[in-house]
């Protein structure tokens, strides 16, 4: 029986170590790890919980090996943090799920991602990456603008203050984000239209959209943006709806084009928002998507489109096994 290792960063461990809830927001809950373990085991694999980067290092130095590693480790610091576990696994020639180190580092840096997307002629809003205070005065994109940290996930750093109407608001928000997150800030033209997220599984020409959902904001929401607070307290603030109507094909095509242009593998999620003309624009991509069976966007949109959690994990695993010349497990 083949063994699949699980690499992950457990939220509770980091909070116990002194991280704030926001600092630990991208890490996984025990419920996610248990659901993933149970699901992978149901396909006929043995499952070995490895844990985070340091735990993986100790296991590798002790001589432990696995047929495949299901990797959802986010890492802790820097725009290359999601690449740390894949880099280590590659150095030991151990196959793993999801994208390679180059893709994970590129996609975490939202500015670099949009450069590649724009060079591939995929629609995305005008943008700038600000690194110094004097850069604020050089912004020549028409207001309103949207401002967020260049390399964060889970809506960290996104709040009602992210939408700015004046240069003074822009300066204040940028300075605040620099102080809090110690990284460059992405400034882009604000898109006022509907917001979507699209799920994709597979690799290269075999990648396909499994569904998408529109994100709608209720009266209790913190503005009409997918902020950290709205994501963390989505029940009662946000409703999710399958994408319908004539725009669906264009939205799905844009998402798949972006996924392939960035060389993502096995599975991921693409965020899209419409401009003032109703034309879909690329926002960002998550090549290492959250997999909490109830609360994460990819499982939510899968359910809305008739795909169970087990079916989602199965398709991710099938893609990873095929890429690495491994046969899939037997139920």
In the block, residue with structure tokens 């994501």: 231
Beta strands in the chain (DSSP E): 3-7, 46-51, 68-71, 127-130, 145-149, 163-164, 185-189, 195-201, 208-217, 238-242, 267-274, 280-286
> In the predicted model, is pLDDT for residue 331 greater than 50?
no
Confidence of residue 281 (pLDDT cuts 50, 70, 90): very high
Q: Report the alpha-carbon distance of residue 244 to residue 178 in Å, rounded.
A: 39
Is residue 159 left, alpha or beta, with left meaning phi > 0 and alpha meaning psi from -120 to 50? beta
CATH 3.30.70.100 fits 126-189, yes or no: no
Domains of the chain: which residue ranges? 3-97, 126-189, 192-323
Nearest residue to 208 via CA among 68, 100, 310, 316: 316
pLDDT for res 224:
77
Nearest residue to 281 via CA among 265, 258, 260, 301: 258
Confidence of residue 329 (pLDDT cuts 50, 70, 90): low
pLDDT tens figures, 173-208 = 999 999 999 999 999 999 999 999 999 999 999 999
Lowest mean pLDDT among 105-109, 243-247, 259-263, 280-284: 243-247
pLDDT tens figures, 142-178 = 999 999 999 998 888 898 889 999 999 999 999 999 9
Q: Report the alpha-carbon distance of residue 256 to residue 262 in Å, rounded.
A: 10
Q: Report the alpha-carbon distance of residue 296 to residue 302 in Å, rounded.
A: 10
Question: Mean pLDDT for the chain?
Answer: 94
pLDDT tens figures, 211-261 = 999 999 888 777 777 877 777 777 788 999 999 989 999 999 999 999 999
pLDDT tens figures, 298-309 = 999 999 999 999
CB-based contacts of 179: which residues, under 8 Å, 6+ apart? none
Q: Is 82 helix (H, G, I), strand (E, B) or coil?
A: helix
pLDDT tens figures, 51-70 = 999 999 999 999 999 999 99
Q: Are 189 and 127 in contact (CB under 8 A)?
A: yes
Q: Report the alpha-carbon distance of residue 200 to residue 52 in Å, rounded.
A: 26
Confidence of residue 106 (pLDDT cuts 50, 70, 90): very high
CATH code for the part of the protein at 192-323: 3.30.470.20
Nearest residue to 105 via CA among 74, 89, 88, 83: 83
Instruction: Name the pTM for this structure.
Output: 0.95
Mean pLDDT, rounded, for 57-84:
96
Lowest mean pLDDT among 30-34, 93-97, 156-160, 238-242: 156-160
Q: Report the alpha-carbon distance of residue 186 to residue 128 in Å, rounded.
A: 6
In the block, residue with structure tokens 């500015």: 111
End-to-end CA distance of the chain: 12
**Domain 3-97's class?**
alpha beta
Mean pLDDT, rounded, for 316-328:
94
Top-confidence residue, 50 or 21: 50
Q: Report the alpha-carbon distance of residue 298 to residue 35 in Å, rounded.
A: 14
């Amino acid at each position: 029986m083949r063994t699949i290792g699980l690499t992950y960063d457990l939220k509770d461990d980091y909070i116990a170590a002194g991280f704030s809830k926001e600092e630990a927001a991208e890490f996984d809950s025990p419920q996610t790890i248990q659901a993933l373990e149970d699901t992978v085991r149901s396909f006929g694999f043995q499952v070995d919980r490895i844990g985070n980067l340091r735990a993986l290092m100790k296991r590798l130095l002790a001589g432990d090996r696995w047929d495949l590693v299901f990797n959802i480790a986010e890492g802790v610091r820097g725009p290359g943090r999601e690449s740390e576990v894949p880099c280590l696994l590659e150095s030991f020639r151990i196959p793993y799920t999801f994208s390679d180190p180059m893709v994970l580092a590129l996609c975490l840096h939202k500015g670099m991602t949009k450069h590649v997307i724009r060079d591939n002629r995929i629609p995305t809003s005008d943008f700038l990456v600000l690194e110094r205070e004097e850069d604020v005065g050089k912004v020549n994109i028409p207001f309103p603008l949207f401002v967020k940290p260049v390399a964060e996930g889970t809506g960290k750093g996104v709040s009602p203050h992210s939408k700015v109407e004046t240069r003074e608001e822009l300066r204040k928000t940028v300075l605040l984000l620099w102080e809090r997150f110690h990284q460059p800030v992405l400034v882009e033209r604000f898109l006022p239209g509907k917001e979507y997220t699209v799920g994709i599984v597979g690799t290269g020409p075999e990648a396909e959209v499994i569904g998408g959902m529109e994100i709608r904001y209720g009266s209790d929401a913190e503005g009409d943006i997918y902020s950290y607070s709205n994501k963390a307290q989505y029940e009662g603030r946000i409703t999710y709806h399958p994408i319908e109507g004539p725009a669906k094909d264009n939205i799905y095509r844009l998402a798949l084009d972006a996924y392939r242009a960035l060389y993502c593998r096995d599975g991921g999620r693409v965020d899209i928002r419409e401009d003032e003309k109703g034309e879909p624009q690329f926002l960002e991509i998550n090549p290492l998507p959250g997999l909490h069976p109830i609360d994460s966007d990819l499982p939510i949109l899968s359910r809305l489109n008739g795909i169970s959690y087990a079916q989602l994990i199965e398709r991710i695993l099938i893609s990873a096994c095929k890429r690495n010349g491994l046969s899939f497990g037997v139920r």
